[in-house]
Chains A and B, each alone.
Chain A
Amino acid sequence: MSDRLLGIQDLSVSFATPEGPARAVDRVSFALNRGETLGVVGESGCGKSVTSLSILGLIPSPPGMIDSGRILFEDRNLLELSPEDLRRIRGRDISMIFQEPMTSLNPVLPIGRQVAEPLRVHRGLSNAQAMAQAVEWLKRVKIPAAHRRIDDYPHQLSGGMRQRVMIAMAMVCRPKLLIADEPTTALDVTIQAQILSLMVGLKEEMGMSLLLITHNLGVVAQMASRVAVMYAGQVVEEASVADLFDRPFHPYTQGLLRSMPRLEERSAGRARRLTEIPGIVPAITETLIGCKFTARCPHAFDRCREKAPALFGIRQGQQARCWLKEFPERRRADA
């Protein structure tokens, strides 16, 4: 059995807008091995969520459209599967948790039944068997007095508890891949810590792979082994988590890391001025010829405006979409 579980190759996704088609994901490629955690980071609108939704065939169409690419899961191209085949994989081999549990849980079904449902659908368990396992799972995700809570409705739970229910629901069928899209963004920091440590525990126990989509560099540093940074629909850098934080190559990655206020820094925080990334993200309806970061990049030169850079190899396991790899003398020391 190969180590590779998921391979996304040259994926492009567009949305129809009144101003014409807008490309939200532009030739994105990355791979995920068994047991690995890949963090996908980027700011609003960079295409990280659209990428993850396309894996499970959840892009609403219209207005969305997959223009090109392949999504290989255990060597099967998910984009070519029939809706029934995809449904069999979804929730069994691949499951997903979202930022806001309230919108992904059914408000009129008790939580026990919701957690039990994938077991009835995918594993063919009887109601009683499925419910018994659901209670076990609710205990494992540390819902206090789980057997008494199975008849509760989602609105009776706190945000952290709802996210635990979501995780139980995603895990009951022991998926090979869990896609978590901003799983802790709506939660308070102490609850976030509880949920992250729960996810780490379950992942290790079950040997599953985790695709973690987030804007939070702290969460990525703590959870991921490899990281893909996305900007304006493209992967601009990919590296091991250590290389990304120690030796970021792409000016956008560098800018992100520098613009963050830090809690752990020894110096009095106020003394230091944050380094800004000037400007704003280009609208996805804009057509840009060269590198999409040019307008905000302190190192930009002619080439960047004329031709889009490819993903260049920087070192073993690290790639960056930046002309500075070919023209290192253009990197400005003062920026």
Chain B
Amino acid sequence: MPEAPLLQAVDLVKHFPQGGGILAKPTAWVKAVSGVSFAVHRGESFGLVGESGCGKTTIGRMLLRLTEPTSGRIEFDGQDILGLNRKEFGRLRRRMQIIFQDPYSSLDPRMTVEQIITEPLLAGRRPPRAELRRTAETLLDKVGLRGTDLDKYPHEFSGGQRQRIGIARALCVRPEMIVADEPVSALDVSIQAQVINLLQDLQQEFGLSYIFISHDLSVVKHICHRVAVMYLGSIVELAPTEVFSRSPRHPYTKGLIAAVPLPDPHRKAAPFAMEGDVPSPIDPPPGCPFHPRCRYAFDRCRMEKPSLATATEGHRVACWLNEGRGLS
């Protein structure tokens, strides 16, 4: 029997109110996430990819209850986390951490590196100061910084080094799962490689699960075991990474992959560029969310939303073309 997943998200929905005021009702709802389900296993890197506004960041935040879902269920290690009270969730929360995109705004500029890294340990029983310092030293060493950096402030570090500090802080409570929201997007390519390697080394060493949120398909392909492609609040395709990059089936996934400019001057991009813009999540199109931009759309796509159905083992696609019609 396969091992139970570490994390399971079932039918997650998030609608943000828009307009309105203290007494007035909201004038509209932003449908950021509309019914997303997936599972993440221990030691696995699970990628959530998609363009701005597809809902990937909102999902990451909901998993840690930084944003409360409108509806749906989240299970972590078999426990329904949305049913837990503040105190119960606080204990569980240590097992899941988050790393943010912008290493410049996610660290408190008035705290020293030691204070930043050990802050998560101060909740509950406060360990003795010497122990905190030792822990911080060990963590800095793990992420490739020096013990002498402990008393410095964030502004004394470069972007890549700050991201290392953020990673050390996330590791401090020995989590089992880390949500990494665009952790390398703000970094230059040579520094990006350093941080990606670090994340992979740490995964090996601690058996971490990653929920890796990114718009960069190359990075996701490099890091993740499985990838979910999102469009306008829904997962349109979910597959093992090799399948995702070699034989994608959803027209959006194909368009997304084709749009990446390859760093190879001998392989010029296909002249076809996906047309149009992503529709507004306030008023998403009926039926398949992708149909207004899809070359293959037919009547059914405009009326009925396809569910995520199994194409082959472990590969699921939300597309009517997948149902008997075959893909061209």
Are A and B genuine complex partners? yes
Please give the residue numbers on chain A whose beta carbons come within 8 Å of chain B beta carbons, in ascending order: 43-44, 158, 160-161, 188-194, 196-197, 215-223, 241-242, 245, 255-257, 259-264, 268-270, 272-278, 280-281
Contact A273 B218 (CB under 8 A): no
Q: Does B135 contact A (CB under 8 A)?
A: no
The residue on A at minimum CB distance from B264 is A221
- The answer to whether A263 touches B245, judged by C-beta atoms less than 8 angstroms apart, is yes
Q: Does B158 contact A (CB under 8 A)?
A: yes
Which residues of A sit under 8 angstroms from B224, Cβ to Cβ? 270
Q: How large is the interface on B (under 10, 10 to 19, 20 to 34, 35 or more residues)?
A: 35 or more
Taking beta carbons and an 8 Å cutoff, which residues of B are in contact with A? 51-52, 158-161, 188-194, 196-197, 200, 215, 217-219, 221-225, 241-242, 245, 255-269, 271, 273-275, 277-278
Contact of B221 among A192, A242, A269 (CB under 8 A): A269
Q: How far is the CB of A284 from chain B (nearest CB, A)?
A: 13
Cross-chain contact B273 with A194 (CB below 8 angstroms): yes
Q: Evaluate whether A197 and B256 lie within 8 angstroms (CB atoms) in the complex, with A222-B261, A260-B189, A274-B193 already known.
A: no
B215 lies within 8 A of A263 (CB):
no
Query: Would you list 30 pairs from A and B whose C-beta atoms are within 8 A, ordered by A residue?
Result: A43-B190, A188-B52, A188-B278, A190-B51, A192-B259, A193-B258, A196-B261, A197-B273, A217-B189, A221-B261, A222-B261, A245-B264, A255-B190, A256-B189, A257-B263, A259-B189, A259-B193, A261-B196, A261-B222, A262-B218, A262-B221, A263-B218, A263-B245, A263-B262, A268-B241, A269-B221, A269-B241, A269-B245, A276-B194, A280-B161
Supply 15 further A-B pairs (C-beta < 8 A) apart from A259-B192, A280-B191: A43-B188, A161-B277, A188-B52, A189-B260, A191-B277, A193-B261, A194-B274, A194-B275, A216-B261, A263-B245, A264-B267, A269-B223, A270-B222, A270-B223, A270-B224
Contact of B51 with A189 in the complex, beta carbons under 8 Å:
yes
- B51–A261 CB distance below 8 A: no
B262 contacts which of A161, A215, A218 (Cβ < 8 Å)?
A218
**Bound: A218/B264 CA distance, A:** 7
Q: B158 to A190, Cβ gap below 8 A?
A: no
Q: Given A261-B222, A263-B218, answer yes or no on A192-B189 (Cβ-Cβ < 8 Å).
A: no
Chain A min CB distance to B140 (Å): 16
Q: Which of B190, B256, B257, B258 has the most CB of A within 10 A?
A: B190
Chain A positions within 8 Å of B274 at CB level = 190, 193-194
Given A197-B271, A270-B241, A218 and B261 contact (CB-CB distance below 8 Å): yes
